[in-house]
A and B are shown apart, each in its own frame.
Chain A
């Protein structure tokens, strides 16, 4: 039979400093870029390239039979009274343009304290492209979101993501230990941050579908962690004398082929979405693609180490206060056995099963 890995025996936890360091570096790079753009960038205080869903404004998709030069299109739109429009040719289809119009008159609406609805950008663009010949241009799509709606969507996107994370934390805490839950959720949060950071660096548009993609990632990623945690739980019953450190390494190694195959297959699905899914789904597909890579990495490199570190801290604390074991029925070892002296140095011999 085909096998990806033969008798792998990697000390993943031993490399935790490197992994955690790399993760922090990635997060800093992304968030730093976002912060830099937000605070110091000369023109354009945009940390993220937010789509109309979250920023408000209008995107009009126009299809031309005989596309005019972009410059001509720009000046015609400008003379229709639309300012700061961005004209972007659609990559996959010649003759199609996205005309992105920021929310107009925002300053004025702030002064009067009433929030504006969507602009009349669609009709203005429609009027201005008519000048390129009768029947030449056709508006094939519009997306316009007003100030209040975009604010709502923004709050809701954050609320939804946080709610999903909390839901998982609670469930894993219930099913395993809360340290496991916290580790898995921190790992997922890290992936979300890194993915958002990449979106900031490459200025890929963030819209509602990207949030959907991030939420999917959260699910996938926690799944990966749970597969490993499940194995840890099982192995701790099997190898009672082995330290948590070694059990974790062993469990990661045992499930590695599954982790890689599953992630690889989802990755393939995401690649086909990037290639064939079209312009509309591209930000979604890219978010998935990046997220799957980091999600796979973080279950091995982030969730495991954090969980082991935390458990050890707790055990140290427990030892000081001696007393009762907080073990649930899932982990039946007495506290003394759980901590084990070999925790710091992995006993390789124990891995040979």
Chain B
């Protein structure tokens, strides 16, 4: 019975150990080779099998947040303009139209000229603008004031869809720019609107950062100005521009005042190599909403401004719908001025010579790189809302190497000290514990590889701690066996009782830690580091039950079995 038991146990242990060793040191995805047994072969396989975290292998870790509140704000403002226009088209007098936007509260407010007409205005507006109940807007009216407010649930849903859309756009931009092995995923809790991007090997993420955050919100607008041949009307200051609107210092919903970096003045600066050189800013008044925007783009590419020139410009083409709209507008506005607006900045102003349909260009003395990046972001579509970076961690390869070295050294020292103590203190049985400990470490590595976990610096620290925890089970058992021996039991019965009693305690301690690790896991969605730690801990504990209890027990069974009935001493 015992013999069979021992054989069975030995087979289990041998199979598990060999499998683990192969997982850790063996080649993956190809046949084993004799070379795999040489030190350099082992090293190469090990490096291939263990997935190192960015903090060890070097790279960039970026967490960005989609500013969904900006998205909701823009949507509300657009609706306010549209509502005003719809009401006026219906022949109603509207004194004021505005959008009220603060976090959590997004409302369109119209002030009617005649309070009695409130309901008619409501109908006229809702016929044309999507401010219905079932679109998520609730209506209320008091006197001449009509208010449509966005419901909380709608805000959430829209914010979520904006984040999804941003995610897709970022994904396509990342692919277009050609980063090697990027990982992109949603990050944090439900309403955090965060996206995590990891890029191994990229030390200076500045360019990628700008490229991803590039809003590239393109609009073609009607500039408020007398038509050509009078030059386009621009103003030296924003205040001056606003003053011409005759609306008491406010900007009405159907107008926008935008900065304009004039090209003509740029030509006089000598620094042609630097498109970012400070330029005098002028201001222009444009109509809102825009004639068309970037969502109507079919294509965009960077071209040289003129043959052999150093500056570049963007050429774009419009989709069918946009081209129709644009063609209709340009056809009826010959000699008027049109502005190309990129991210709320007027890039160029030109007058309409003749009807234009489907193409245009953005001039602005771009360098090749910035023109390429801009074309790329225009092609991928405009982000629904700006994004901001909430976390940026970069690690150079040398720093990562240093961390690995430090971690490995600390592990070896820790392991050495523990092994030394166990051998001195428990002598023969110390060997038993050391075998269990080494097996524990191998299994731990195999477990990390099998689960595809990433080894980070805190992960290495976790492994070092597992050494301490792993040995705890052995200490518990050995101390208990000693106690049982002191109370006068025979060796086999002392070992038996020692394991039996210690096992209850070991289960209790392990399960407590596992329970708390599970809590850790679920409460740490925004901190992958802590989450990884929880995984490592649970893995270590489960493996420990095998190595410290099952394996140690087997070694004792073998030892006592060899001594047979004469087992009257035990080196412990």
Residues of A within 8 A of B (CB): 1-3, 58, 61, 63, 93, 113-114, 116-118, 122-123, 126, 138-146, 148-149, 152-153, 156-157, 159-160, 163-168, 170-172, 175, 208-209, 211-212, 215-216, 218-220, 222-223, 226-227, 230-231, 234, 254-255, 257-258, 261-262, 264-266, 268-273, 275-278, 280-281, 284-285, 288
Contacts and interface: CB of A to CB of B under 8 A. Distances in A.
B482 interface: yes
B42 interface: no
Contact of A145 (B390, B395, B417): B390
Query: Nearest 6 CB-CB pairs, A to B?
Result: A117-B388, A266-B468, A278-B406, A149-B390, A140-B396, A272-B413
A180 to B, nearest CB: 11
9 contacts: A2-B425, A117-B65, A141-B396, A152-B192, A164-B517, A222-B509, A269-B414, A280-B406, A280-B457
A219 B537 contact: yes
A277 B394 contact: no
Contacts of A165: 516
Given A63-B398, A209-B458, A265 B418 contact: yes
Contacts of A3: 482
Given A163-B523, A216-B537, A281-B406, A61 B399 contact: yes
Given A118-B389, A230-B505, 13 more contacts: A2-B426, A61-B399, A93-B402, A117-B64, A149-B390, A156-B523, A156-B524, A168-B515, A209-B529, A212-B461, A268-B417, A281-B410, A284-B458
Contact of B471 (A118, A148, A226, A262): A262
Contact of A273 (B203, B390, B464, B471): B464
B520 A215 contact: yes
A197 B512 CA distance: 26
A142 B469 CA distance: 33
B394 A258 contact: no
Interface stretch (B13-21, B24-32, B447-455, B472-480): B472-480
B568 interface: no
A60 to B, nearest CB: 9
A212 B409 contact: no
B118 interface: no
B411 to A, nearest CB: 8
B393 A142 contact: yes
A277 B461 contact: yes
Interface residues of B, number: 80
B518 interface: yes
Interface in B175-202: 188, 192, 194
Nearest to B421: A265
Contact of A262 (B394, B475, B524): B475
Contacts of A160: 519-520, 523-524, 527, 530
A263 to B, nearest CB: 9
A272 B417 contact: yes
Nearest to A59: B393
B533 interface: yes
A168 B512 contact: yes
B324 interface: no
Contacts of B457: 209, 280-281
Interface of B: 55, 63-65, 67, 103, 188, 192, 194, 203-204, 206, 388-396, 398-399, 402-403, 406-407, 409-411, 413-414, 417-418, 421, 424-427, 457-458, 461-462, 464-465, 467-469, 471-472, 475-476, 479, 482-483, 501, 504-505, 508-509, 511-513, 515-520, 522-527, 529-530, 533, 537, 572
The interface residues of chain B, by DSSP majority, are classed as: helix
Contacts of A230: 504-505, 508
Nearest to B194: A149
A118 B512 contact: no
Nearest to B482: A1
Contact of B527 (A144, A156, A261, A270): A156
A122 B392 contact: yes
B524 A219 contact: no
A241 to B, nearest CB: 19
A67 to B, nearest CB: 16
Contacts of B421: 264-265, 268
Contacts of B522: 163
Given A142-B392, A163-B523, A212-B458, A276 B479 contact: no
Most chain A beta-carbon neighbours within 10 Å: one of B394, B483, B525, B572:
B394
A117 B389 contact: yes
Given A116-B388, A163-B520, A258-B476, A211 B530 contact: yes
Given A208-B527, A261-B479, A273-B464, A164 B388 contact: no
Given A160-B524, A164-B516, A149 B410 contact: no
Contacts of B398: 63, 138, 140
Contacts of A144: 389, 391-393
A266 B537 CA distance: 15
A138 B203 CA distance: 11
B449 to A, nearest CB: 22
A262 B519 contact: no
